[in-house]
Amino acid sequence: MGQFHFDVPNAASDFIGKSLWNSAYICGIEGVPWQSRIEFDGARLTLTRAIESSGKLYMACPLDGIGFRTLSTCSLRPLDDESHLLPLEFARGSCYRARIQSDAWQRAGLTLSNEFVELLKDGTSRFLDAAQRRADRDGSSEAAMDAILLLEKAISDLGESYAVQSIAFRKQREPQIGTLLAGTVTPPAPLGLQSQTAFTSAFNSAAVRLNWADIETDSGRFSYDHAEEAIEFCSSKGMRIIGGPLIDFRERLMPHWLYLLEDDFDAFLNAVTHFVETTVNKFQGSVQLWNCASGLNTPGPMQLNDEQIMRLAVGILQTVRRSDPTTPAIISFDQPFGEYLGQNREGISPLHFADALVRSGLGMAGLGLEVRMNYAEKATLPRSAVELGQMIDRWATLGMPMLVQLAVPGGTGPDAMAAAPCDVLQHESQGGDPASDQLRLAGPLIRTLLAKHIVHGIVWEGWSDQVPHVVSHTGLIDADGHERPLLEYLTRLRRDFLV
């Protein structure tokens, strides 16, 4: 059994206390989180896991002017009788990531900004101060926290330089970039003429949700009226249609009557494939891409083992391919960094699950990745655009085109229209304007995805908070009907760069 002990001096107790320490995890060189037991008494953070090997600690911490950002250490050994100084190790990790990535990209031809060079210089200097003052634990921690903030700002600037220069490089070869930019429509279609015009101006595609819970409200009784209305509207505007996910394996998005099948997996599988077959047959020819399923890799409303999950994924994909053999089909994976594995021993690694499906020879056309960021639970921990890009590069080793679905909140508090509501992460340094924070956080992520050739589509999860939607406060129009700044940004992005 391996234990990692991290000391938290008084100077850093507030910083760590406000972090998401209960969602921290350790992962090794393969990048897969290990299930760990976490304890924090205000002065020491301890993570215990079943194996005794080196690993990196990942934890989301609040940073002034940035909000929550996932920090990581360099690779550390578990120490039973000794401890690491947590702020210093986070500073070391930020310094390593900033310097290594900037050096690699500069060698590949990236031009670094003057601001990045200054931030890296100052941040490295403060990290060295922290390392030299290790005996003065409070003094070292104060210098380390200064270094973390400077270096994480440098990483943000580095990610922006990469995205802007990479997009410009693509534009030289593709005057109109062919990436799909889709908005999610939860049937019925966007309401009102103004809303419809704004939707078609911002997106060249539509991801029409075909929620099982909404369509088959009672077993064997299907109602497709709203879905037909949404697909017909989007098709009439010349938009490409992404149908699905057909099965979204989240509790509030599955039919209420499934509890009757909880102890009979074969009956559950038959119900799933019957719905999928009926839906695909209904909309065959109107949909240009099937998103077959989402979230099968994360814990859902039914307790299924690994074999059952694989059978479910294969059954869904085979049903779609049999019913509509000419339309491309993908399966989506939730929380692609795999954070949930840190708390769930029985979880499935998203990358390993995807690799098994790719090797199955079932004709999957690509991979979907679902990234819900800045939420308190069942979401991707807040990451920099650089780290998102690195994750995309890891998934790219599977050799499949990718469709990335993004969700970042533009509001706070209860959201009565959300089918799967979740609390929004808040930090007092963010400025108090959630709509502006949505653009500030989502903009760099979208630009990074647009810079990646392997990413064939970007889906924004949510359109308007005035109508039924899935995730809390993701709409580009708020509950009062006001447009959020991200809508104008996406409209300009489509006009200037996309087909």
> DSSP for 203-229?
-SEEEE---HHHH-SBTTB---HHHHH
- Tell me: do 340 and 456 sit in the same domain: yes
- Tell me: do 122 and 227 sit in the same domain: no
Boundary (domain end) residue, out of 169, 190, 216: 169
- Tell me: do 179 and 73 sit in the same domain: no
- Tell me: do 35 and 90 sit in the same domain: yes
Write the CATH number for 405: 3.20.20.80
**pTM > 0.85: yes or no:** yes
Boundary (domain end) residue, out of 150, 169, 188: 169
Domains contained in the chain, number: 2
**DSSP SS3 for 233:** helix
- Tell me: do 234 and 187 sit in the same domain: yes
Boundary (domain end) residue, out of 126, 143, 169: 169
Q: Is residue 467 left, alpha or beta, with left meaning phi > 0 and alpha meaning psi from -120 to 50?
A: beta
- Tell me: do 128 and 190 sit in the same domain: no
**DSSP SS3 for 19:** coil
- Tell me: do 182 and 112 sit in the same domain: no
- Tell me: do 324 and 465 sit in the same domain: yes
Q: What is the DSSP string of 431-445?
A: -S-HHHHHHHHHHHH
- Tell me: do 143 and 281 sit in the same domain: no
**Cα 374 from Cα 147, distance rounded (Å):** 23
Dig out the tokens for 93 from the structure.
Answer: 């990790």
Q: Please provide residue 79's backbone torsions phi and psi, each rounded to the nearest 5 degrees.
A: -125, 115
Decide if 206 contacts 182 (C-beta within 8 A).
Answer: yes
Q: Can you give the pLDDT of all 499 residues of the chain as single tens digits? A: 578 889 899 988 889 989 999 999 998 877 888 888 898 988 888 888 777 788 899 999 999 989 999 999 999 888 767 788 999 999 999 999 999 999 999 999 999 999 999 999 999 999 999 999 988 889 999 999 999 999 999 999 999 999 999 999 988 888 888 899 999 998 876 665 557 888 989 999 999 999 898 888 887 788 998 899 889 989 998 999 999 899 999 877 888 888 777 778 898 999 999 999 999 999 999 999 999 999 999 888 888 888 999 999 999 999 999 999 999 999 999 999 999 998 876 678 999 999 999 998 888 999 999 999 999 888 999 999 999 999 999 999 999 999 999 999 998 888 888 888 889 988 765 556 888 899 999 999 999 999 999 999 999 998 888 888 889 999 999 988 899 999 999 999 999 888 6
- Tell me: do 319 and 451 sit in the same domain: yes
- Tell me: do 185 and 129 sit in the same domain: no
> 168, exposed or middle or buried, with CB in 10 Å at 0-12, 13-18, 19+?
exposed
Q: What range does the domain containing 400 cover? A: 174-497
Q: Where are the alpha helices (DSSP H) in 451-497?
A: 485-497
